Structure 1
Amino acid sequence: MSLKVNKLTGGYSSIPVLKNETFDVKDGELVSLIGLNGSGKSTTINHIMGLMTPFSGTITVNGIQITDNIEKYKQQIAYIPEMPILYNELTLREHIETTIMAYNLDSDDAWKRAQKLLKIFRLDNKLDWFPSNFSKGMRQKVMIVCAFITDAKLFVIDEPFLGLDPLAVNDLLQLINEKKHEGASILMSTHVLDTAEKYCDRFVLINDGSVSYEGSMNEIQQHFNDLGHSLNKIYLALAKKDDNHE
C-alpha cells in the first residue's frame, strides 16, 4: 500500500504551488521524483513529511493520514533531506540514541544495525564527534545512518548524491536496494538522471506543480519515443519544450 498522494493541492500562504498532484509509491518500489528547480519537488516532499498542510487532497502512508494519528504517521517515514539537519549540541552517538527513542526502536537491535552502517560509511570511530567536526558529506552520512536504522515503511530521500563520494553513493544504493527487497517503499528526488534510470522502478515527472507523466522507463521511452531513449535526453527535451511555451 505505502504512499498515496491523491489530488494534492498546496503551497505557501494562499498561493498554490502544487496543483492536483496524484501519484503513489508501492511496497518494495523505488520511485524517482524528477523536475526542474521550482517545479514543486521540495514542496511535494514537505507536504508528505507533514511540514506543510494541503489546501486540498490527501496523503496516506499505509492507509494512515497525518490527521488520523500524527505520531504513527511520522514513525512510518524516514527522511534524508538535501541539506543535512543535525543538532550542534549532540554527538553522533547521541543522534543515533535520539533516533532510537523517536521511533521507539529496540535499543540493542537498533545499535547492531547502527554499528554495521557506521562501519560501511566509515564513521565507526567518530561516535563522540559533534556536527562541527563533520564535512558536508560526513553529515549526509550521519543522516543516512539515522534513517536506515529505523523500521520505516517509507523512505523519502531528497537529492542524496550531492556531497557524497562515489564509494558512499554506491553504499547508499546498496542500502536502498536492500530496503526495497525487505518491502519498504522509497521516494527519491534527484537531478542525477543517469543513476535514477539504472536503479528506479518508476518515475514521476513534475512540471509547474503538476504530474506531467508517471511510468516506468519502458513506458516513458514508448510515450516519448521521438525525444530519445535515455531519461536524461527525454527530460531535457521536455524541459526545453516547456521553456518555449512560457
Structure 2
Amino acid sequence: MIEINDLTKSYGNKLALQHLTLKIESGKIFGFLGHNGAGKSTTIKNLVSIIQPTSGSIIVDGLDLAEHRQEIKQKIAYVPDTPDIFLQLTAMEYWDLLAAAYDLAESDVQARRHKLVELFNMSERVDETMASFSHGMRQKAVLIGALLTDPDIWILDEPMQGLDPQAAYDLKQLMKAHAEKGKTVIFSTHNLDTAQQLCDELAILKTGQLIYNGSVQDLLAQHNGESLEDIYLQMAGRQGDSHLVDDIEGDSHE
C-alpha cells in the first residue's frame, strides 16, 4: 500500500500540489486525471523521488520514502512523461544500463527482456540508437527498460502517449495482469476512455488539489446518465462553452 499524507509541493510562491492525501492499495490500477498543470506529474515525480515534497509524507509498504529512498526505489518501475532520455545509447545499451543499476545479472533479465522486445515488436531495432527512433519507438524502449526488472510497483506518466494501437493494447493487458498478481499500477492519463477501461480507482486533480478520489463506477453513479467526459469537465474545468467555439468559427467566416 502507498499512503500519501498531506503532500504539498511549492515552487517559490506557486503551489503545484496542495495537501494531497490518499491511499493506493496493492492489487489495484490507480489513475491520475487532470488538465495540464493540475499536479499529476508533480505527484508522480514525488512518488519516484525525482523531486522532494515541500511538506507531507509518502509511506510505501510501511516505510517512509524520506528515510528509505533507495530501498523503495528498488520496488518501483518508472516511465517518465517524455522518452527523450539517453539518446546516445542503443536500446540494448539502455536496457543493460538499467539492469546494472538494479544490480541484475544478464541471466536474470534475458528471458523477460526477450519477451518484452518481442511483444513490442522491437527485435530488429535493439542495436539502433534511441536518437534514431520515432517518439513511439522511444516510448516502447523506455517501457521495456522500466518493466525489465519486474518490480512490485509500476508508476507510469502518460504511458500510452505515442504508442501505436497494438502497443497500447498490449501495455494495457500487462497493466491488468500486474494488478491481478496483487501488485500496484499507478498511471496518469488525459484519455478518459483509457481511465474508464483500466482504473479500479482514480484521483482527479485541479490546480494541485484533489477534487475526487474513488472508483469510476461510483463517480458515474453520482451523476446519473452523464458521460465520464461531461462529469470530468464539470469537475476539472470549463465544459466547452459552445459560444466560444461559435465565436471562433464565426471569425473564420468573416
TM-score by shorter chain over 0.5? yes
Counterpart of 1:238? 235
Deviation, 1:203, is 1.0
Instruction: Find the partner of 1:229 among 226, 234, 242.
Output: 226
| Structure 1 Cα separation of the partners of residues 13 and 63 of structure 2 | 26
> Is 1:184–2:183 an aligned residue pair?
yes
> Residues 205 and 236 of structure 2 are in contact (CA less than 8 Å); yes or no, is this contact kept in structure 1?
no
Deviation, 1:112, is 0.6
SS in 1 for 2:64: coil
Counterpart of 1:172? 171
SS in 2 for 1:127: coil
Deviation, 1:242, is 8.9
> Residues 17 and 207 of structure 2 are in contact (CA less than 8 Å); yes or no, is this contact kept in structure 1?
yes
> Residues 61 and 154 of structure 1 are in contact (CA less than 8 Å); yes or no, is this contact kept in structure 2?
no
Counterpart of 1:140? 139
Alpha-carbon distance change, 213 to 79 in structure 1, aligned in 2, over 3 angstroms: same
TM-score, reference length from structure 2: 0.88
Counterpart of 2:61? 62
> Residues 25 and 186 of structure 1 are in contact (CA less than 8 Å); yes or no, is this contact kept in structure 2?
no
Counterpart of 1:119? 118
**Residue ranges of structure 2 left out of the alignment (5+ in a row):** 242-254
**Residues 35-114 of structure 1 aligned to structure 2 (within 5 Å):** 35-114=34-113
> Residues 83 and 142 of structure 2 are in contact (CA less than 8 Å); yes or no, is this contact kept in structure 1?
yes
Alpha-carbon distance change, 242 to 62 in structure 1, aligned in 2, over 3 angstroms: farther
| Structure 2 Cα separation of the partners of residues 50 and 243 of structure 1 | 36
Deviation, 1:241, is 5.8
| Structure 2 Cα separation of the partners of residues 242 and 21 of structure 1 | 25
Counterpart of 1:29? 28
What amino acid is aligned across from residue 224 of structure 1 in structure 2?
A: H
What amino acid is aligned across from residue 199 of structure 1 in structure 2?
A: L
What amino acid is aligned across from residue 207 of structure 2 in structure 1?
A: D
| Structure 2 Cα separation of the partners of residues 120 and 191 of structure 1 | 25
| Structure 1 Cα separation of the partners of residues 77 and 131 of structure 2 | 23
SS in 2 for 1:160: coil
RMSD: 1.9
| Structure 2 Cα separation of the partners of residues 208 and 219 of structure 1 | 23
**Residues 194-213 of structure 1 aligned to structure 2 (within 5 Å):** 194-213=193-212
Larger Rg: 2
**Residues 211-222 of structure 1 aligned to structure 2 (within 5 Å):** 211-222=210-221
Deviation, 1:150, is 1.5
Deviates more, 1:92-101 or 1:81-90: 81-90
> Residues 211 and 235 of structure 2 are in contact (CA less than 8 Å); yes or no, is this contact kept in structure 1?
no
Residues paired across the two proteins, number: 241
What amino acid is aligned across from residue 38 of structure 2 in structure 1?
A: S
> Residues 61 and 76 of structure 1 are in contact (CA less than 8 Å); yes or no, is this contact kept in structure 2?
no
Deviation, 1:15, is 3.2
| Structure 2 Cα separation of the partners of residues 29 and 95 of structure 1 | 29
Deviation, 1:14, is 5.0
SS in 1 for 2:56: strand
Task: Give percent identity, aligned residues only.
Answer: 36
Deviation, 1:179, is 1.1
